[in-house]
Amino acid sequence: MNNKPFYITTPIYYPSDKLHIGHAYCTVATDAIARYKRQRGFDVYFLTGADEHGQKIERKAKERGVTPQEYVDHIVDGFVSLWKLMDVSYDGFIRTTDPLHVACVQRIFKQLYEQGDIYKDAYEGHYCTPCESFWLERQLKDGCCPDCNRPVELVQEESYYFRLSKYADRLIAHIRKNPDFIQPPSRANEMLQNFLLPGLEDLCVSRTSFQWGVPVDFDEKHVVYVWVDALSNYISALGYGTEDDTLYQKYWPADVQIVGKEIVRFHTIIWPILLMALGQPLPKQVFGHGWLVLDGGKMSKSKGNVVDPVQLCARYGVDALRYFLLREVPFGSDGVFSNETLIYRINNDLANDLGNLLSRTVAMIDKYFGGEIPAPDAINIEVDDSLFSLAARIPSELDARMDTWHIPDAIAEINRLVSACNKYIDVTAPWLLAKTEEGKRRLATVLYNLAECLRVAAILLIPFLTQTPGKIFAQLGTPQDLRDIAAVAFGQGRPGAKVEKGEALFPRIDLEKELAELGAAGAPKEIAPACEIPPIKEEIGYDDFSKVDFRLAKVLACEEVPKAKKLLKLQLAVGGETRTVVSGIKKWYAPTDLVGKTVVLVANLKPATICGVESRGMILCASDEGDLLSVVGPMVELPDGLVVR
């Protein structure tokens, strides 16, 4: 135990409707580092949370007819369940709507104002609401946001400004003197060349055109700019500036702040300058990771190609998804997600290599040694030595990769050991050794070595996979004290431990069958409406509502309307009466799909003649005006004619 504090953070997430696998990537990678450091005896504090303020959220809540707080509460519950599902071991979860955070932001703003680093002025400029970013005229790309290409809004407001320019030289010097501050180094260059060296403008840090933010407490018509609000989370969560700032004293400055590449700019310019102005130390490192992309584009809900981590966990298990995210994406660069590569990784690395090695080893110990790990005996220097030395070397090789957060390379080291074991089985041919007494003495050594390598691999896998190491230990009968990193050295395993055959760690997946099931696109289908969910209409009284006569109606017959592309003609039974109703649902239903079904009819709608057929009423459908449509009906069988209210 070295007990040194280690503070690591993820960005705090925007409450968008659903987190996708790209978000999960960032958090799972951070979790792996946190778990790794804990395993190495550090006193880790891992912070994540939710970034809940801003115009975007205010607008969305309004569209849905709920308060912004109600809107974010619901979504943040979803974040917490996803992190729980994916075994994300955070120590702190900060919400920017927490009163402690709000008070901290207000104190920071006031201090900077009082010391002259924030001043009031008139502002005219361009604002990208989706990115919550201000842009100068010259920074726009064809009049649009240079980051997301969406239109910007011209904003004219009296605002507070933060003197970024005053600190620019100090920041440039800091970046140059501390090559580790921004990682990977390419991102440091990008910040220097694109933003710092051309010169920093002062930053507009308050808004008056919306309310959903932290109010400037000495000038309440202003709310604090969301990025100043959001970035402060990293210290507000530790009690910065409060009476009880024990966590702050212990953990700040952060050892590493993991962020996506598109927000490195905020974390390596605004954030360090804010800290300089407050007289606080800067984080030791900001690491900008790449994106998980689909077909060359960043995942995003608006592109309609989101892949749901909850669905993927349900289908393949948490460890399979964690493994894919951590092994497939080179840390710092972009990685591509496809169902095919995910299944390939599961089959190749997890089922064939690791899973098979365990089941073969346990089965052989069971068969040839009555289920007890044998004591090593007849060593073959040539063959065994290379396995020993690899097993002895791997832990430090892995440490070297993890020192620079090269998680996929660290996992590749463990895989090297697993592959070497599989080759060792081929070379030693245990099934032949089992045939003679002398061979059996040698076989004892071979199986001890295999069990020992598996134990070492399982210990090293602990930071990355949360369920598999425990399963390996259980099958090998590894006692608790030998599951610890302190016991990682090859050869500590005690002969005599009882192995226990278990289920396959990762069942093989039939790729073709699976892809067919997932659909031609190879991605789990997301049901996403074609249009934004429209806002709830203006309130009406019960009197207005009661004017509409909704009834249950049974479809007696249904046919296409001749020469009409979209229409079906339905004969409906409505409490002893038969009616004809025309409905534009031919694209979704064949006539036979509907016969016998009970639907909801607007029974007192004035008759209308559509394509020569008189329609008396209208049946209710839920639709997004795009491809999604369903006729609406009761959840249990009920007689036609019943009133729906």
Q: Which CB sits closer to ligand ME8, 257 or 615?
A: 257
Q: Tokens 């690899």 appear where?
A: 390
Neighbour tally for 239: CB within 10 Å = 17
Find residue 231's DSSP bridge partners: none
Q: Which CB sits closer to ligand ME8, 34 or 259?
A: 259
- What are the DSSP calls for 386-434, one per residue? HHHHHHHHHHHHHHHHHHTT-HHHHHHHHHHHHHHHHHHHHHH-HHHHT
Q: Give burial (CB, 10 Å; 0-12/13-18/19+) of 636.
A: exposed
Q: Which CB sits closer to ligand ME8, 292 or 451?
A: 292
| Cis amide bond preceding 469, omega within 30 | no
The residue range among 5-13, 503-511, 561-569, 634-642 that interacts with ligand ME8, by the rule CB under 6 A, is: 5-13
Q: Which of 292, 387, 411, 453 binds ligand ME8 (CB under 6 A)?
A: 292
3-state helix, strand, coil in the chain (%, to 5): 45, 20, 40
Q: How far is the CB of 22 from ligand ME8 (least distance, A)?
A: 2
The residue range among 211-219, 292-300, 511-519, 524-532 that interacts with ligand ME8, by the rule CB under 6 A, is: 292-300
Q: How far is the CB of 79 from ligand ME8 (least distance, A)?
A: 9
Q: Does 212 bind ligand ME8 (CB under 6 A)?
A: no
Q: Does 13 bind ligand ME8 (CB under 6 A)?
A: yes
Contact between residue 26 and residue 299 where contact means Cβ atoms under 8 Å apart? no
Q: Report the distance separating Cα 556 and Cα 409, nearest Å.
A: 65
The residue range among 8-16, 190-198, 373-381, 484-492 that interacts with ligand ME8, by the rule CB under 6 A, is: 8-16
Q: Does 405 bind ligand ME8 (CB under 6 A)?
A: no
Binding characters for ligand ME8, 72-111, by CB under 6 A (x = yes)? ----------------------------------------
The residue range among 9-17, 197-205, 302-310, 593-601 that interacts with ligand ME8, by the rule CB under 6 A, is: 9-17
The residue range among 7-15, 62-70, 247-255, 304-312 that interacts with ligand ME8, by the rule CB under 6 A, is: 7-15
Q: Which CB sits closer to ligand ME8, 259 or 453?
A: 259
Q: Which CB sits closer to ligand ME8, 203 or 299?
A: 299
Q: Which of 33, 61, 230, 365 binds ligand ME8 (CB under 6 A)?
A: 230
Alpha carbon separation from 29 to 33, 262, 325 (Å, rounded): 7, 17, 8
| Residue 480 per-residue DSSP state | G
| Residue 637 per-residue DSSP state | -
Strands (E), 506-560: 550-560
Residues near 341 by Cβ (< 8 Å), separated by ≥ 6? 324, 328
Q: Does 260 bind ligand ME8 (CB under 6 A)?
A: yes
**Which helix (H) or strand (E) element contains residue 155?**
strand 153-162
The residue range among 155-163, 225-233, 413-421, 549-557 that interacts with ligand ME8, by the rule CB under 6 A, is: 225-233
Q: How far is the CB of 26 from ligand ME8 (least distance, A)?
A: 4
Q: Does 299 bind ligand ME8 (CB under 6 A)?
A: yes
Q: Residue count at the site for ligand ME8 (CB under 6 A)? A: 20
Q: Which CB sits closer to ligand ME8, 184 or 470?
A: 184
Q: Which of 7, 25, 42, 252 binds ligand ME8 (CB under 6 A)?
A: 25
The residue range among 188-196, 228-236, 241-249, 426-434 that interacts with ligand ME8, by the rule CB under 6 A, is: 228-236
Binding characters for ligand ME8, 118-137, by CB under 6 A (x = yes)? --------------------
Q: Does 263 bind ligand ME8 (CB under 6 A)?
A: yes
Q: Does 12 bind ligand ME8 (CB under 6 A)?
A: yes
Cα first-last separation, the chain: 66
Q: Which of 153, 262, 385, 500 binds ligand ME8 (CB under 6 A)?
A: 262
Q: How far is the CB of 115 from ligand ME8 (least distance, A)?
A: 23
Q: How far is the CB of 616 from ligand ME8 (least distance, A)?
A: 50
Residue nearest to ligand ME8 (CB): 260
Q: Report the distance separating Cα 150 and Cα 141, nearest Å.
A: 10
Contact between residue 334 and residue 291 where contact means Cβ atoms under 8 Å apart? yes
**Which helix (H) or strand (E) element contains residue 450?**
helix 437-461
Q: Report the distance separating Cα 224 and Cα 227, nearest Å.
A: 8
Contact between residue 626 and residue 529 where contact means Cβ atoms under 8 Å apart? yes
Q: Does 26 bind ligand ME8 (CB under 6 A)?
A: yes
Q: Does 51 bind ligand ME8 (CB under 6 A)?
A: yes
Q: Tokens 């993991």 appear where?
A: 258
Q: Report the distance separating Cα 7 and Cα 92, nearest Å.
A: 11
Q: Which CB sits closer to ligand ME8, 91 or 593?
A: 91
Q: Does 231 bind ligand ME8 (CB under 6 A)?
A: yes
The three-class DSSP label of residue 621 is strand
Q: How far is the CB of 533 from ligand ME8 (least distance, A)?
A: 20
Report how many helices (DSSP H) and strands (DSSP E) the chain contains, helices first.
23, 25
Q: How far is the CB of 408 from ligand ME8 (least distance, A)?
A: 14
Q: Report the distance separating Cα 582 and Cα 569, nearest Å.
A: 5
Q: Which CB sits closer to ligand ME8, 14 or 123?
A: 14
Q: Does 259 bind ligand ME8 (CB under 6 A)?
A: yes
Of 473, 475, 444, whose CA–CA distance to 460 is shortest?
473
Contact between residue 240 and residue 248 where contact means Cβ atoms under 8 Å apart? yes
Of 579, 569, 576, whose CA–CA distance to 603 is shortest?
579
Q: Does 506 bind ligand ME8 (CB under 6 A)?
A: no
Q: How far is the CB of 570 from ligand ME8 (least distance, A)?
A: 45
The residue range among 63-71, 230-238, 241-249, 381-389 that interacts with ligand ME8, by the rule CB under 6 A, is: 230-238
Residues near 540 by Cβ (< 8 Å), separated by ≥ 6? none
Q: Which of 6, 167, 252, 291 binds ligand ME8 (CB under 6 A)?
A: 291
Q: Which residues lie near ligand ME8 (CB under 6 A)?
A: 11-14, 22-23, 25-26, 51, 230-231, 233, 259-260, 262-263, 291-292, 298-299
